[in-house]
Structure 1
């Protein structure tokens, strides 16, 4: 057994440490929760960690997203690329797979294939329901987690254990429109939620039982609760019920444009799976854009009084508007120069 894991192996046992070394974890999101979870899992020796995220590193991330540096911001690096760079410095003996992708119901199943557990680090509830559908359908445990301000929630979805999935709990979870962009977030709650998620993930990887507890914590108000929600399972649930249809994996429910809350920006996701050669694109644009920044993953520039971050899969974030119609017009004008 590698001596770097000796203290962990003393607690878990060598056999369970070996299971961790041979395991594979999928992290959905590389923001605050994702970067914290990724670092803990890398230090624990998880053999393969796949991280997916659609965004790039910005200055506002550095307050709580612990894998990133000022240099990552200056280079406009995608979060998963910056995360891979840092994680390989932490543990060179494991495999880190970065995916600069926007997750939706039509690509999630291929992404999670072959993984032992999914750790949720998304920033919106719709994406969580997409992952929940894919996890239940494919029989992969899914550790849900979220945090905002000083408050966090954690819930493990373990397919086949008779407990409710996230969809079952929709009518029992508080409806809250708060986001990190509107009310902020402090890093201690991020660390607590991520640590709890990673503990649950390690239990799954080592074969330990996981209790279906819905946990909530407010680190500022010194409040916490844990509720066993087994009885809340819905036999008619469209995700885990007897006649499951997995609605969030269906084409008709896929979002094509999305307002990014609190950022005065809209994301455009094309219906096609075309790949764009960014070097060719910037050559064609030349005098039509200002302040261009290009790396192997994205092109950032100013175009028609707005800032566009264009990814090689055709996805783009249009900064300077919250109107999806305006964003689409700008996107189409921008693409005509390709």
Structure 2
């Protein structure tokens, strides 16, 4: 399935991009007076193949997974917090749920690789999908995080879940989110490998590590990359050796959006690590990606530069969950509104 998705992704319409640029420059305002809103609106026209783009139905796909490398002391929080946060996501208590409700956006939580049994969860306010591929990844300082088959299944499962809800909810935009204690560590490992950065350039304090914790995290990533030797030219190899289940699933969400010819707002550091995997599978996906924000993790900027993706927002955030991407949603809505409904000088009957 993944091969079929990857090879069937098409580049957004160059014709509509040209038409949108032409219209954008003639809107009833000084030339390009709305700054980056013009570029965003033009890209939306290209993706939707319309000069009247409209964003109506949106959803945040929160992919969850745990990480064996947590036993190396790379996280400020114990792994059991992942399980605790499931209840918060499912009952509208997590921050992303509060923000998403304000934007009339669905939250869909999927268990792709948590350590905990979530198959019996039955009472919740938000959508929940239990499609566990692994019971947490392995400690990648000692062995690969996953097998190659598991990594492929994570991407495939994320794509299947997303494609199902795109059809079910008639979505015209999707948003990436995640949950998993320790997931900045595999994300930093992926970022280090793909962007050819040093580990020190890539990592930060995550959700509140001490200086000693940052040193442990640095050494764990260096050890994992040296031990597993991921192949730079093989995204599945990178994901399986130093990645995470939820990271693979997010890559699947991004691929599904591109296949469906709808935009995807990618959240922070973890989601952008997944975007790197998706991009390595098919570079055309970056044409569908809008970077919601630039997080406080040092390596996030390097990831975005690699993808040539300028963030919509920069609010010094470091939460994850999909929060920054949800905040960016309204900017995209307004960009679509602007190019759709602001008249040109000629349409307004003004001849200069």
TM-score of the two chains, using structure 1 as the length reference: 0.30
Counting helix residues as a fraction of each chain, which structure ranks higher?
2
Q: Which has the higher contact order (CA 8 A, sep 6+)?
A: 2
Counting strand residues as a fraction of each chain, which structure ranks higher?
1
TM-score of the two chains, using structure 2 as the length reference: 0.29
